[in-house]
Structures are given as C-alpha cells and as structure tokens.
Amino acid sequence: MNKLGRGQRDKVQQFMLITGASEKVAIQVLKASDWQFEGAFDIFYSHPHLKSVADTRHIEELYNRYKDPYADMILADGITLLCNDIQVDPQDIVMLVISWHMKAATMCEFSKQEFVGGLQSMGIDSLEKFRERIPFLRAELRDELKFREIYNFAFGWAKEKGQKSLALDTAIGMWQLLFAEKQWPLEDHWCQFLQARHNKAISRDTWSQLLEFSRTIDPGLINYDPEGAWPYLIDEFVEYLNENGKGKTSEWNYTK
Amino acid sequence: MGNEQKKRTGTMEAFKHKVVVDPNYADKTWKILEHAINEIYDQNASGLSFEELYRNAYNMVLHKFGDKLYSGLVATMTSHLQTMCKQIEASHGNEFLETLNGKWNDHNKALHMIRDILMYMDRTYIASTGITPVYGLGLNLWRDVVIHAENNQPRLQNTILELIYRERNGEVMNRGLMRTTIKMLMDLGPLVYQEDFESLYLKVSADFYRAESQEFIEVSDCGDYLKKAERRLSEEIERVSHYLDATTEEKITNVVEKEMIANHMLRLVHMENSGLVKLFLDDKFDDLRRMYKLFSRVSDGLSTIRKVMISHLRDSGKQLVTDPEKLKNRVEFVESLLEKRDKYDKIINSAFNNDKIFQNALNSSFEYFINLSTRSPEFISLFIDDKLRNGLKGVKEEDIETTLDKVMMLFRYLQEKDIFEKYYKQHLAKRLLSGKTACDDAERSLIIKLKTECGYQFTSKLESMFTDIKTSQDTMREFYAACGSELRNGPTLSVQVLTTGSWPMQSCGTCNLPPEMSILCEKFRAYYLNIHTGRRLSWHTNMGTADLRASFGSGQKYELSVTTYQMCILMLFNNADRLTYWGIEQVTEIPSSELKRSLQSLACVKGKNVLRKEPMSKNIGDDDVFSVNENFTSKLHKVKIGTVAAQKESEPEKQETRQRVEEDRKPQIEAAIVRVMKSRKVLDHNNIISEVTKQLQPRFLANPVEIKKRIESLIERDFLARDNKDRRLYRYMA
C-alpha cells in the first residue's frame, strides 16, 4: 500500500468500500486493470473466489425489513420501500438489472431465495453498499452481451405467470424502457405497427429476434433479407414500413 | 550331252560383275521405251511386246539408269498430255466434258499399261528413292497439265456447276458423264475433289438456296414452304448418290438445312394464318410431321417448335379456364379440358414421333393453366359426379375405364389435391346417401386409381364410406328380420349408419319427427345399441329422404319423393287443414332457414306445389298460412320434390370450404416440418422451406409464409429452437 500513489490509494479505498473486497485483493485487481474501475469490477466479479463472503446475517436482516407481513416474499410495498432506501425510482431500468441478478421469476415480487441469493452474488450486504453499487449496475447495460441477457431475461420476467406469451401492452412498455438505453430509431414505428396491425401477445421468439433485428438491420432496411429467417411478425413490420414509405428510399437522420 | 559346255558368261552371272555395256546402251533402251510409250498414247499398243518392254525397263533399272528412265517417262508423258490438253481446250461448248472424259479414259488406259511395263522400276528404284510411283505420277501429271491448265480449270468448274444449276431448275442432264467427270476428280485425290470442286459447289449451292428460299418464303404459306424444303433436301441427297462422293452428302444437306430451314425457322413458325399455331388448330398432321422432321435436323429446331407450343397452350388454356361462359357449366369445362388434352396427345403421337420432351412440355403447360383457376379441383370432382350419376348408362366398360383414366390425368395436374379430396368426399357422400350412384364398379375403379396415385391415406376414408353403406344395408335386413313382425303395418324405415370422421358432415340439431316415424326410429336405435353397446347414434334429419303416398281432394293419388324435413311438414296436414309458418316451426323444430327453403319447394315451385301458401309471394313470412293444394295435379305418378344433388357451391360456401382446407393444411405442414427436422437435426431456413414444400407437393402447394408461421409455432412449443450462434439455423429439440 505504501508504494502506491495518492490517487491509487483512493481508488483502492473506494474499491474496497464498493465491493467489500480485502485490501490485498483490491490492489491486485486494480493493478491488473491498470487502475481502471470498470475493468477492475469486471475482473473482480468474474472471479468469485475474490469476493469476500458478504455477511448473510446482514442480508437476512434486510430481507426481513422488506418482506410482506403475510407472505414469505417481498411484494409491492416492500419493493417500494427498497427503492426508496436505495434512492432509485421503481420504474428505473436499474430495477430490471437487479431483478436479473436475482434471477427473479416475475416482476413486482422477490422470493426470499431470490433476494438473498441476488444480494450475495452482487456482494451487497448493506444499503450503503447497495447505493454505491447502483452506477455499476447501470453500467452493465452498456455491455453488449449483458444487455442481451438482460433483454431476454426481461421477457420471462415481465410476462404473466403461466402464460407463454407476453401481453402486448407490457411488451411495448418494456421495449420503450429498454430501447431508451439503446436508441433504436425504428422503435416508435414498431410499437405503432403492433398496435395497428397485431394486437396480440408477443412470442418469445419474436421478442428475442427483435433485438437481433435492431442490432443487425439498418433503419433504412437496406440489408434486410426477406429470406433471412426473421419471424413472420418482423416480415410484416418491414412490409408495413415499406407501405408507409419508410423503406429503403427514405432518408434517415440517426446517429449511431 | 553337251551340257557341261554351257559355261558362258552372260545372263547367269550377270550380278557378279559389271557387264561392260555399250555406252549408248541406256539411250538405246530408252529410245525403245519412248517409242513404246508414244505408240501406247497413239492407240497403237497392239503391236508391242510386253515382255520385251518389261525386260528393257528392268535392264535400265538394273544398270542404274532408273533416273534416266523416270525423267524420260515424265517428259514423254507430259508432252502427250500437253497435246491432249490442247485438244480438250479446242473443243466447243457442249463437247468439252465429253472430250475431257474421252482423253481421261485414254490416259488411264495408257497409264495402266505403262505402269505394268515399268513395274520393276516402281518396286525398286522408286521404292528406294521415295519419289512418286508411276501410277500416281500419271495422275499428278494429268492434274497439273490438263486439269489445272489455265483455261481448263475454270472452264471445268463452271461447266459442272452450270449443269448442276440447270438440273436444279428442272433440266435433264447426262448424269453418266457427270459421274465419270466427278469420279475423275475423286481419283485425283481428295484434295483435288475438294478444292477443285466441292468447296465451290457448296458455296454456289448456298447462294442458290439462300436466294430461292428468300423468294419462296415471300409467296408461300408455311405448309407449302415445308413441302418444298423437304423436296429440295431429298433431291440433293439423291444427287449425291448419283454422281457425287458420299462424303459430300452431309455437307450439302447442312447447306440446305441452314439456308432453307434454320434461317427461316422463326418466320415459318410465326407465319400469320399458316404458322405453327394454325397447324395446331386445324390438326394438320402431315404438315406438323414434316415440320418436326425438318426442324429436328437443325439445332434449336425442335426447341423452337416446343416453345411455340408451350406458349400457345398456356395462352389458350388460360383463356379456357378464365372464360366466364365456360365456368358456368362445369361439365363442359372439364370436357373441354379433356378434349384439349386428347387433341395435343394425338398431335404428339402422330406428328411429333411421340417425343418424350414434347409430352413433358404438354404436361407442364396443362399443369400451369389448370391451376390458374381455383375452381378446377371442384369442377373436376363435379364432372366425375355427373358421370357417375348419369353419364355412364350404356357405356361399355372399357370406355368407362378410358374416361376415368383421362380424368385421372387431369387430376395429376392439380396442385391442390387436398381441395379436390374435400369436394370429392362431399360429392361422394351425397351420391351414396341419395342412392344415386349409377355404376358401383366405376366408383370403385376410380377409388383404386386415386389410391395408386396418392396412397392409402387419401382413400381410406372414402373406402370406409362405401363400407358404411353396405353395412347399413346388412343392418337393416337384420333389423327387419328380428323385429319385422311388429313393424309390418307401419312405414318402412331405411337407416344409413355412418361412421363419424369418415363422412364430411356438419353437426345438426334434430327436428321432431311425426310420431309414426319417431317410434320406428326409437325401435331401431334400441336394436342397434343393443348389438353395438358403447356406440352413440345421432340422427341427421337434414340429410334424409322420404317417399309419401298422398291423395288429394280430386281423388288423385301420387307418390311424393321428399326430404325428411318436408315429410315432417306434410305429415302435419294429416291432422290440420291450415297451419301458419310459425306454427309449423314450433311443432317441427326445424331450423328456420332450412324450414323456409323446404316450404318454398313445397309451395312455390310450379308443378310441385303440393301446398298452397297465403299470400302467394315467393318469400316466406312468419305469418304465412299453408294448406294442402287439393287441386294439385301432375303428369307423373311419382313426383320428386327436393333432391340432394351436388351443386356448384355458392360464394360463401366456397370460402368456407377453402378455409377448412387451409386449416387442415396447418397440421400437415407441421408434421412435415417435424419429419424433416427429425432426420436432419439442424437445418437452415431456406432448406427447410424447400424440403417441406417437396414433401407436401403431392397434396398441395405449400405457402412459404405459412411454413414460416408453423415453424414459429413449433418454436413456441419447444419442438424447434434457433441455433445459438447462427440465427438462421433451426435445431430439432428431441
């Protein structure tokens, strides 16, 4: 620790605070990532043995704080309280990321296992740590691979228990939330199209393929291949765009 | 015995040492030979001694004077040929060839003799030095001195070509003379034949035929032109056989084919009022046959004919199937299809040598336009229905088979065979239930043909329908045998028990039967269920028929053939004189649309109005009153009211049928997808589409969009999944 410069020592402190890692580990990881936080976090979280055991007792205390009086689960009220505590809006997309870490089965409720397991895997055992972790969680959305996982996770999480497909309104809401992060130019048209023409629930395949579509096909539809094994609904969407003159010939002002 | 003394030098020991010869020996010997040659050329050979001359030549060569002999020969022969040449040149016009031939003969004869004389030189001196042997030398000299003489060469060519030209224009020529002349050129070697004659001949012929064909095509129609071309072709072949070398045949026929046929192919085929299409329409078999034979000689000839045939078939076929007049009468529609097919079959058979490629073209054209109309499957089924109901009385068995086979051919062209199946089932059901099938054998024969074509699946339900009818007949017999005594005085019941699932039925509610009937039906039901416990019977009163004996006020008695519904209605009038529509509906509980239709047939149709309706309007209102028409008369004792014949579907019915077929297709598509994926495990999108389409092709043409939807449905149900890495690949989930 003595060989480190002032700035580096600060970083080590911060790192330890956020992740709960020991000083030794913190220095190791920060050195490995060239003193960049993002990289350091990555390394730390992908090596579970580096994490110190977050104190389960504390986590259980937290659980009890939020748990519903009549059921062994955290329900809507508990979640509202939690959001308050960690200073996050319940509609904030970071809640989705948190749910993903928890492997939550369905939105607006956490089972004990999900809550405790989730906090453990995130290495959080206090509200302070939780609050400090929020920016990192938010940053995870910018990672392409993680975003895809979270996006696909969202389908199962947002749909009704026992249903196979996702209700249209919920789907549109989720898309708006998710694409606010990703900025897909056709998002509005997609939602309009669905409401005008489809009016039915969204299948899992359509959900996951839409992400691919938004990623690989340019908004001018120039590289859209009709034989490209896209779900039927997406083919219809392309037709809809072409009908309304938003196809290949129109201009697009978008920034990538 | 003075033999021992015959030791002389001379002939026996000639080889041992050089004989001292007279220095002028060579000259002298040559002179003798030279003289002989001259004599030979002067036709004076009879006075010569072959032996002596041979010996002289032999000696010259022996004594190493072969070169002198050879060069002398060349000189002498050349000079004689020059003389001959002048004589030939001097001949006038027509005698040119004769003279030439005469001299050629002479030269040949001379050459033979000279060769024989100089044979030793040929074998030894010439063999060792490699120069041209005597005979060849003679030919070469003839060629160089005579044939290629400055005046002779062009004169010879022109004479020959002129004669041929004249012969082509109809003049008679001396073929023998021509033959020997050409033979002479051939003898002089293939190069001479080709360069001095053949290449020029081919060029001139090309020009000739080009001009002639151009001229002729302006003024003649297709058939005439073809005849002329054929004639010219055989002429040329004959010409070759008479006086040209056989190798020329192919070359000259190629010239004629090119100039007369290939160059004008398209024009002939598309000629207005006489071209290929007209030949088709008028069944001009001879002309078509001629065209086929001629065109098969040139490249792209047959494919040109084929293209025109295909486009004509497609166009005329398209017209046929979209002609609203034709579509009104479905039997005529199918008959025109059959006629068309017969016509072109005949054409291909008799004029196109049964060419398989043309057969295929015919089939693909038919397949194209038959499927242009979505009503084709229905109409073909209606045609069969018509024939099986009415059209086969008195027709011989073989003819029935032939007709059915022809219809099967049309069936094969259908892309939507499953629609045909649906209609066929409907029509068959109606035929069987109304007892209107005229020919049981024909029905069964057709089922067998369908089975052969499409497999067991297609026909299993149809066969079950036949079985049901037969079984029902047996059941009725047994029923009457068991219960007949009680039923002797009542109406006669005939029940057809149909297996659900085999028959195209919609469920329908029952109505209230007249008491006599309902008692009987109950008895039957009890009887049947007693034998077949565990089964359920439901009456389909909308499909039954009844025969009633009616007596009217005028004392007239008639037998009425009606539907079950109509029977229910009529029986009510045994107990009431007047009934309102409303009342009838209440009592019978027949569904209102059916009830209205039945009443209309009973009251509003001229000649069949056994009921009277007040008011007399066509439409049935709720308050209409009905009564028996006591004044009813009919010419026939048996009056048929309301049949259950197969009719062309109305628009809404058609839509419904199509929709049902589309629904039926979905599981079939899914089954095909699963089959394909099960065996391939992993497959990309385009390949799935093509494989599945191929599998379903015997039944219907699968729509790629529909296939895609089914794939998505299967993904939803976890039968398939997209590959993780390549989203265009699908995996089979076991």
Tens of pLDDT, residues A101-136: 888 888 888 888 888 888 888 878 888 888 888 888
Rg (CA), chain B: 49
Average pLDDT over residues B495-518: 83
Residue partners of B172: CB distance under 8 A and separation at least 6:
none
Cα-based distances in Å from B152 to A60, B75, B160, B370: 127, 21, 12, 71
Chain B nearest-CA distance from A59, in A, is 36
- Name the band, by pLDDT with cuts 50, 70 and 90, for residue A69: confident
Please name the residue that has the structure tokens 């010997």: B29
pLDDT tops 50 at residue B209: yes
Give the count of Cβ contacts less than 8 A between chain A and B: 32
Average pLDDT over residues B371-390: 87
Task: Classify residue B289 as exposed, middle or buried by CB count within 10 Å of its CB (0-12, 13-18, 19+).
Answer: middle
pLDDT tops 80 at residue B609: yes
- Residues of chain A positioned with their CB less than 8 A from the CB of B722: 205, 209
- Name the band, by pLDDT with cuts 50, 70 and 90, for residue A249: very low
Spatial separation of the C-alpha atoms in residues B498 and B461, rounded to whole Å = 11
Residue B255's pLDDT is: 92
Q: What is the pTM for the complete model shown?
A: 0.71
CB contact under 8 A, B712 and A164: no
Residue A31's pLDDT is: 82
Residue B15's pLDDT is: 54
Please name the residue that has the structure tokens 């031939």: B101
CB contact under 8 A, B709 and A232: yes
- Residues of chain B positioned with their CB less than 8 A from the CB of A164: 716
Please name the residue that has the structure tokens 């939550």: A104
Residue B666 near chain A (CB below 8 Å): no
Average pLDDT over residues B559-576: 89
Q: Provide the token pair at A232.
A: 């039927």
- Residues of chain B positioned with their CB less than 8 A from the CB of A209: 722, 727
- Name the band, by pLDDT with cuts 50, 70 and 90, for residue B612: confident
Tens of pLDDT, residues B718-728: 899 988 888 88
- Strands B625-628 and B729-732, how do they pair? unpaired
- Residues of chain A positioned with their CB less than 8 A from the CB of B686: 227
Spatial separation of the C-alpha atoms in residues B297 and B497, rounded to whole Å = 66
Axis-axis angle for helices B456-487, B440-454 (nearest 10): 150
Asked whether the CA dihedral B616, B617, B619, B622 is positive or negative, the reply is negative
Tens of pLDDT, residues B271-330: 888 889 999 999 999 999 999 999 999 999 999 999 999 999 999 999 988 888 877 888
Average pLDDT over residues B48-56: 89
Rg (CA), chain A: 22
Phi, then psi, of A223 in degrees rounded to 5: -100, 20
- Name the band, by pLDDT with cuts 50, 70 and 90, for residue B598: confident
Average pLDDT over residues B395-402: 79
Average pLDDT over residues B232-239: 93
In chain A, the DSSP E strands lie at 73-74, 110-111
Phi, then psi, of B613 in degrees rounded to 5: -125, 135
Residue B652's pLDDT is: 78
Residue A250's pLDDT is: 43
Work out the number of other CB atoms within 10 angstroms of the CB of residue A23.
12
Average pLDDT over residues B8-30: 65
Residue A251's pLDDT is: 44
A26 versus A65: which is more confidently predicted?
A: A65
Residue B354's pLDDT is: 92
Number of residues written out for chain B: 734
CB B54 within 8 A of CB B117: yes
Chain A nearest-CA distance from B683, in A, is 12
Q: Provide the token pair at A96.
A: 């989705």
- Name the band, by pLDDT with cuts 50, 70 and 90, for residue A47: low
CB B436 within 8 A of CB B427: no
Residue B179's pLDDT is: 92
Residue B7's pLDDT is: 54
Residue partners of B63: CB distance under 8 A and separation at least 6:
B19, B21, B25, B26
Residue A254's pLDDT is: 43
Closest CA to B618 of B632, B597, B634: B597
User: Which neighbouring-strand residues pair with B625?
Assistant: B580, B614
CB contact under 8 A, A232 and B715: no
Helix extents (H) in B681-703: 685-696
For chain A, the straight-line distance linking the first and the last C-alpha, in angstroms and rounded, comes to 43
Cα-based distances in Å from A109 to A103, A127, A138: 11, 19, 21
Spatial separation of the C-alpha atoms in residues B552 and B570, rounded to whole Å = 12
- Name the band, by pLDDT with cuts 50, 70 and 90, for residue B260: very high
Spatial separation of the C-alpha atoms in residues A161 and A108, rounded to whole Å = 12
Average pLDDT over residues A138-152: 88
Spatial separation of the C-alpha atoms in residues B437 and B429, rounded to whole Å = 10
DSSP class of residue B649 equals P
Tens of pLDDT, residues B424-441: 998 888 888 877 666 778
- Residues of chain B positioned with their CB less than 8 A from the CB of A156: none
> What is this model's ipTM?
0.70
Chain A nearest-CA distance from B712, in A, is 7
Question: Which of A145, A225, A227 has the highest number of chain B CBs within 10 A, making it the mutation to test binding with B?
Answer: A227
Residue A225's pLDDT is: 84
Q: Omega of the bond prior to B704 within 30 degrees of 0, cis?
A: no
Spatial separation of the C-alpha atoms in residues B598 and B626, rounded to whole Å = 13
A164, A227, A235: residue with CB nearest B716: A164
Phi, then psi, of B148 in degrees rounded to 5: -95, 15
Q: How many CA atoms lie within 13 Å of A100's alpha carbon, on the beta-carbon side?
A: 19
Residue B493's pLDDT is: 86
- Name the band, by pLDDT with cuts 50, 70 and 90, for residue B645: very low
Residue B647's pLDDT is: 53
pLDDT tops 70 at residue A9: yes
The chain A residues in contact with chain B (CB within 8 A) are 164-165, 203-206, 209, 212, 227-229, 231-232, 235
* CB interface of B with A, residues 670-699, below 8 Å: 684-686
CB contact under 8 A, A229 and B715: no
- Residues of chain A positioned with their CB less than 8 A from the CB of B685: 227-229
CB contact under 8 A, A212 and B727: yes
Spatial separation of the C-alpha atoms in residues B644 and B418, rounded to whole Å = 24
pLDDT tops 90 at residue B346: yes
Nearest 5°: the CA angle B470, B472, B473 is 65
Tens of pLDDT, residues B93-149: 788 889 999 999 999 999 999 999 899 988 888 888 888 899 999 999 999 988 888
Residue B716 near chain A (CB below 8 Å): yes
Average pLDDT over residues B604-631: 83
CB B644 within 8 A of CB B434: yes
For B704, which residue in chain A has the nearest alpha carbon?
A227
Average pLDDT over residues A148-160: 90
